[in-house]
Amino acid sequence: MKKVLDFIKKYKSFFKVILFICSITAVAVVFIKVLFMPTIVISKSMYPALNEGDVLFIEPIKNNYDKIERFDIVLFSYKYNVNTNIIKRVIGLPGDKIEIIDNVIYINDEILHEYYGYYDDTAEARYSNVSPVKLAFDEYFVIGDNRNVSEDSRSEELGVVKRDTIIGIAVFRLWPLDSFGSLENQ
C-alpha cells in the first residue's frame, strides 16, 4: 500500500510540472499569435532606429488600418512573395501626395520635418528624387531610415504598400537587452 501512495505522490508532482509547462506554453502561444508576433530584423535598412539582429514584437493590425500613423514602423508582406516580410517606416498615408527633391520629402507640397532619415555620405544616393506619387485610399508610402541602402517605396521594385499587405506595427524591442523597450519614439 505504501508503494502505491508513493507512486501517487510522485505522479502528482510530475503531473503538476506537466500542467505548469502546458499552461506556460498556452499563454506564450496566445501571446504570440493573438497579441504580439516576434520578428527579427535581417537588414541594415532601418538603421539607426533598428539594427540587424534586433528582435521585435509586432502588434497585428487585424484589419484596423486606422491604427497606422505617419512614422510608425510597420511589417508587411512583399508583393511578389507573401512569405517574405519587410519592415519600414510609414511616411505617406492614404490620400497623400509624396514627392522627393534632393532628399527632401514633400507631403502634400509641404516639407516633411522628420529626424528619422540617415544618409551615409560614403554610400551612393540612389533615390534622391522621386516624382510625385498620389496615394490611393489603400496605399502607404514607406521608407527605410537608412536612406542610401533601403529598398522601399522610392523604388519601382517595391513601390507603394497596399494596406492589406500590412501585418502589424513594431511596438517593442526585446533584443538586444541594452535597447530593450518601447519603439514608440524610434
What's the 3-state SS for 84-127?
EEEEEEEEECCCCEEEEECCEEEECCEECCCCCCECCCCCCCCC
Q: What is the pLDDT of residue 109?
A: 95
User: What does the alpha-carbon distance between residue 26 and residue 78 come to, in Å, rounded to a whole number?
Assistant: 30
User: What does the alpha-carbon distance between residue 100 and residue 127 come to, in Å, rounded to a whole number?
Assistant: 8
Which residues, other chains included, contact 62 with Cβ-Cβ below 8 Å and sequence gap of 6+?
none
Domain check: are 9 and 95 in the same one?
no
Domain check: are 56 and 123 in the same one?
yes
Q: Name the residue range of residue 47's domain.
A: 37-182
User: Is 45 annotated as catalytic?
Assistant: yes
Domain check: are 22 and 88 in the same one?
no
One pLDDT digit (tens) per residue for the chain, 186 residues: 667 666 667 766 776 777 677 777 766 666 556 567 888 888 888 999 999 999 898 898 887 888 899 999 999 988 888 788 999 999 999 999 999 998 889 999 999 998 888 887 777 777 888 899 999 999 999 999 998 888 899 988 889 999 999 999 999 888 888 888 878 776
Q: What is the pLDDT of residue 156?
A: 87
Q: What is the pLDDT of residue 4?
A: 63
Burial level of 178, CB count in 10 A (0-12/13-18/19+)?
exposed
Domain check: are 89 and 17 in the same one?
no
Catalytic residue among 3, 10, 33, 88: 88
Q: What is the pLDDT of residue 93?
A: 96
Domain check: are 25 and 91 in the same one?
no
Domain check: are 94 and 169 in the same one?
yes
Domain check: are 123 and 134 in the same one?
yes
Domain check: are 80 and 172 in the same one?
yes
For 55, phi then psi, to 5°, come to -110, 125
Domain check: are 24 and 110 in the same one?
no
Preceding amide of 176 cis, omega within 30: yes
Provide the residue type at 117 as one letter: G
User: What does the alpha-carbon distance between residue 22 and residue 163 come to, in Å, rounded to a whole number?
Assistant: 36
Q: What is the pLDDT of residue 2?
A: 67
Q: What is the pLDDT of residue 157?
A: 87
The whole-model pTM stands at: 0.79
What is the tally of structural domains in the chain? 2
Q: What is the pLDDT of residue 7?
A: 64
Q: What is the pLDDT of residue 11?
A: 67
Catalytic residue among 43, 45, 150, 153: 45
User: Is 162 annotated as catalytic?
Assistant: no
Structure-block grid coordinates of residue 150: 533601403
